[in-house]
Chains A and B, each alone.
Chain A
Amino acid sequence: RKEVEQDPGPFNVPEGATVAFNCTYSNSASQSFFWYRQDCRKEPKLLMSVYSSGNEDGRFTAQLNRASQYISLLIRDSKLSDSATYLCVVTVFDYKLSFGAGTTVTVRA
């Protein structure tokens, strides 16, 4: 079983729509959680950390459910520029980040 699993999508949504997707992780000892964003043929970049109580950063909301071992990302009021692959990242040890294969989101005009 993979350490981090994501629905690859693609999620194809119109501008202004809300899109949400989850990521599951297998190790219950996982400590830290992140969402990274990767544009086509570019390097990944940190989008946001995910905190136990859930957190928002502008139009982006991240949630953590430790009991069911998943994290989620919700994007409100989607923009064309939100089109990217979103990588779920989980750490067990403080330095060992495990990346999911990513969820592709395409926002259309």
Chain B
Amino acid sequence: GAGVSQSPSNKVTEKGKDVELRCDPISGHTALYWYRQSLGQGLEFLIYFQGNSAPDKSGLPSDRFSAERTGGSVSTLTIQRTQQEDSAVYLCASSSRENTGELFFGEGSRLTVL
């Protein structure tokens, strides 16, 4: 498709389980971001990938969170041993190198940890 694609759109899991969230960015976009949005809150930066450069992981809230981007395209965000406070919408976005201010977001993955 032409836009950023995320899956699953909804995920309900039990506390302590691991989850994987996937993002397929717009073709040709070199930058990929993960943000988290809790109810009524702003977007919280998690991680940034740009081409083959080392990712900026400064926003990951704990070592239970990790992300990778394979082949400069698809990215996976993994949350291990989920906690209730991890419940949020996880948004992936991509942008071109030429226009870093315009992020194109996917529809998000809504995670609920019971």
Contacts and interface: CB of A to CB of B under 8 A. Distances in A.
A24 B24 CA distance: 33
Contacts, number: 47
B101 A34 contact: yes
B106 interface: yes
Contacts of A100: 42
A96 B108 CA distance: 19
Nearest to B4: A43
A34 B31 CA distance: 18
Interface residues of B, number: 20
B100 A99 contact: no
B70 interface: no
B45 A96 contact: yes
Interface string A61-83: 00000000000000000000000
Interface of A: 4, 8, 32, 34, 42-46, 49, 87, 89, 91, 94-102
Per CB-CB distance, the 5 closest pairs between chain A and chain B, nearest first, are: A43-B105, A101-B42, A99-B43, A99-B42, A46-B102
Interface of B: 31, 33, 35, 40-43, 45, 48, 50, 56, 91, 100-103, 105-108
